[in-house]
Each structure stands twice: as structure tokens, then as C-alpha cells.
Amino acid sequence: MTATTNQPRSRVEELERIYRAHLTACPRQHFGILTDCAKGLRLRRALHATRATADKGAP
């Protein structure tokens, strides 16, 4: 494996760490119909999109 092959997976891991740290620090609602944290929503969408991209490239 090369660094290019590992890049999508390492990006997913980085976004997971950022998202979990945000959930720990932010007192706002992040799930469901009452979601009121725009930053958390953007991080979650980015994480899901990056996971989907990384899974498409997986052998």
C-alpha cells in the first residue's frame, strides 16, 4: 500500500476524531429532528461523505 491508498482512510479517522471531540465539547443537540448545531451537522455530513468515498476505493 502506498500513502495515496491510505489517504482516504486516514482522512476518515481524522474526521472521526474531530467529530467526537466536538460532540464532547459542544452542549447543543446533534441528532434527530431537534438538531441545532450547524457545525456538528457539517462535521457529521463530511464524515459520512468521506466514509462513502473511502469505501468505494476499498479493494
Q: Residue 27 phi/psi, 5° resolution?
A: -85, 0
Question: Cβ atoms within 10 A of the Cβ of 14, count?
Answer: 12
The span from the CA of 3 to the CA of 28, in Å, is: 37
Please tell me the predicted confidence (pLDDT) of residue 18.
95
The pLDDT tens digits for 5-56 are 577 788 999 999 999 999 999 999 888 888 899 999 999 999 999 999 888 7
CB distance 48 to 19 below 8 Å: no
pTM flag (> 0.85): no
The residue ranges of every structural domain in the chain are: 3-56
The span from the CA of 40 to the CA of 36, in Å, is: 9
